[in-house]
Amino acid sequence: MATVENNIPPGEDPAPYHEPAHDPRRRDFINIAAVSFAGVGAVAIVLPLINQMNPSADVLALSTTEIDISKIAPGQAIKSSFRKQPLFVRNLTPKEIGEANDVDVGSLRDPQTLAERTKPGKENWLITLGVCTHLGCVPLGAGEGENKGPFGGYFCPCHGSAYDTAGRIRQGPAPQNLHVPDYTFTSDTVVTVG
């Protein structure tokens, strides 16, 4: 054992130890470091607890859908499904295209032209989600004999939103046009959505 200088006579207490005044003290530093370490750990555990709520891989795997459009005559529409949501594919008649193009775009709640909502050269193919942008009901108008509403497009029975022949919101509480998903024409008769 190394020699330690010890001048205290037997039977007397050593002088009280005064820690040099640092701010923060060593002890504060250790406290802050320990709590921070635990805090980082807690955040690291919360992240997966939050993220588990997001769509799982099998839900995301449904993100593309192929649709055969060869059987849809002008003026007809079909209901398909994309990411478990209804999808409307509509073959517009020249009259419906004319009606959509006659509207003053500036007067719309969500200004878009028909051309912006379709693919070049395929203006008769209106492909939208069948989900009302108000609170998510399925609008009527895609099926045979359903109420197409005052603008000849789609009509949502829940709260009375009316869409025109380009699927644009014209009347009622919905804030936006029917959403157009990403899609491509893989051939003249097949569309890949997603």
Partner 1 sequence: MSFPWAKHYEPKQPLMRWLDEKLPLPRLVYNAIGAGYPVPRNLNYFWNFGVLAGAALVIQIVTGVVLAMHYAANGTVAFGSVESIMRDVNAGWFLRYAHANGASMFLAVVYIHIGRGLYYGSYKAPREMVWLLGVVIFLLMMATAFMGYVLPWGQMSFWGAQVITGFFSAIPLVGDTIRIWLLGGFAPDNAALNRFFSLHYLLPFVIAGVIILHIWALHIPGSNNPTGVDVKGEQDTVPFHPYYTAKDGVGVAVFFLIFATFVFFSPNLLGHPDNYIEANPLSTPAHIVPEWYFLPFYAILKSFTADFILPAKLWGVLAMFGSILLLFFLPWLDSSPVRSANYRPTYRWFLIVLVFDVLVLGYVGGAEATARNVMMGQIAAAYYFAHFLIILPLVSAAERPRPLPNSITEAVLAKHGGTAPTKTALAG
Q: Which residues are catalytic?
A: 159
Given a contact cutoff of 8 angstroms between Cβ atoms, the answer to whether 51 and 96 are in contact is: no
- Range in contact with partner 1 (rule: CB under 8 A) among 30-38, 69-77, 91-99, 134-142: 134-142
Size of interface with partner 1, in residues (CB under 8 A): 28
Q: How far apart are CA 18 and CA 76, in angstroms?
A: 90
Pick from 173, 100, 42: nearest CA to 156: 173
Decide if residue 175 touches partner 1 (CB under 8 A).
yes
In this complex, which beta carbon is closest to partner 1, that of residue 7 or of residue 54?
Answer: 54
Q: Which stretch binds partner 1 (CB under 8 A): 18-26, 41-49, 90-98, 128-136?
A: 128-136
- CA-to-CA distance for 29 and 81, rounded, in angstroms? 58
Does 160 bind partner 1 (CB under 8 A)? Our answer is yes
Q: For the window 35-64, what string marks contact with partner 1 as x by the rule CB under 8 A?
A: ------------------xxxx--x-----
Distance in Å, CB of 167 to partner 1, minimum: 17
Q: Whose Cβ is closer to partner 1: residue 75's or residue 175's?
A: 175
Give the C-alpha separation, 164 to 94, whole Å: 14
Is residue 107 close enough to count as binding partner 1 by CB under 8 A?
Answer: no
Q: Is residue 90 classed exposed, middle or buried when 0-12, 13-18 and 19+ CB atoms within 10 A define those classes?
A: buried
Q: Minimum Å distance from CB 166 to partner 1?
A: 20
Neighbours of 110 (CB within 10 A): 13
Compute the distance between CA of residue 110 and CA of residue 164 in angstroms, rounded to an integer.
12
Write out the binding residues for partner 1, residues 136-155 only, by CB under 8 A. 136-138
Distance CA 56, CA 69 (A): 30
CB of 158 to partner 1, least distance (A): 5
Nearest distance, CB of residue 135 and partner 1, angstroms: 4
Euclidean distance between CA atoms 141 and 86, whole angstroms: 13
- By the criterion CB under 8 A, which residues form the site for partner 1? 53-56, 59, 79, 81, 83-86, 109, 130-131, 134-138, 156-160, 172-175
